[in-house]
């Protein structure tokens, strides 16, 4: 009987531990993880794929993870719906429209011309973003070699 007095509290602790782990997995923050390996900071991280640049934008419950995306001409942008609600990717000027994207579906569009394309979701109009197509910055030249230090003038001469 004495051993059973330890089993009940220990069992309760184990059950609470499992429940807390299960609750943590159901939290809304699970959608902030990026399973596609793209950067969430909005930095332009073009990945070379075959013969073209591909950039991924995740559609999450809180919006587009790269709401302002600078790219070079010829870049293909791929939007992937990671949220639970259907969304669209619709250009404000009508130049592209994904149609309704269910969870896990994607839409791609290649940006060949320079300019700014603003877009939104028809199902959640507050979700907005833009793709800014501009020429790549030229590669910086190597720094010029430092010149030899000059000797100070000799003040001791008369």
pLDDT band at 13 (very low <50, low <70, confident <90, very high): confident
Cα angle vertex 83, ends 62, 16, to 5°? Answer: 90
pLDDT of residue 149: 46
Give all strands of the β-sheet with 128-133 in edge-to-edge order. 68-71, 128-133, 115-120, 90-91
Domains of the chain: 34-133 (2.60.40.420)
Question: Of 4-18, 19-33, 54-68, where does the model show the most confidence?
Answer: 54-68
Round to the nearest angstrom and report the end-to-end CA distance of the chain: 107
Q: Tell me the average pLDDT across 5-25.
A: 62
CA 110, CA 143: separation in Å to the nearest integer?
36
Beta bridge partners of 136: none
pLDDT of residue 28: 39
Residue 137 vs residue 97, higher pLDDT: 97
Q: Tell me the average pLDDT across 30-42.
A: 39
Residue 111 vs residue 50, higher pLDDT: 111
Query: Could you tell me what percent of the chain has a pLDDT over 70?
Result: 55
Residue 34 vs residue 133, higher pLDDT: 133
**How high does pLDDT run on average in the chain?**
74
Asked if 1 and 19 touch (Cβ cutoff 8 Å), the reply is no
């Amino acid at each position: 009987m004495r051993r059973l007095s330890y089993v009940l509290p220990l069992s309760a602790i184990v059950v609470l531990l499992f429940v807390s782990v299960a609750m943590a997995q159901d939290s809304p923050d699970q959608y902030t993880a990026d399973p596609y390996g793209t950067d969430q900071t909005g930095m332009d991280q073009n990945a070379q794929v075959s013969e073209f640049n591909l950039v991924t934008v995740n559609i999450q419950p809180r919006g587009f993870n790269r709401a302002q995306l600078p790219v070079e001409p010829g870049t293909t942008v791929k939007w992937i719906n990671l949220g639970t609600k259907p969304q669209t990717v619709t250009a404000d000027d009508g130049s592209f429209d994904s149609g309704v994207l269910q969870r896990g579906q994607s839409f791609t569009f290649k940006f060949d011309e320079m300019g700014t394309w603003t877009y939104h979701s028809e199902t959640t109009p507050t979700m907005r973003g833009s793709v800014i197509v501009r020429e790549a910055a030229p590669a910086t030249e190597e720094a010029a070699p430092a010149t030899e230090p000059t000797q100070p003038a000799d003040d001791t001469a008369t």
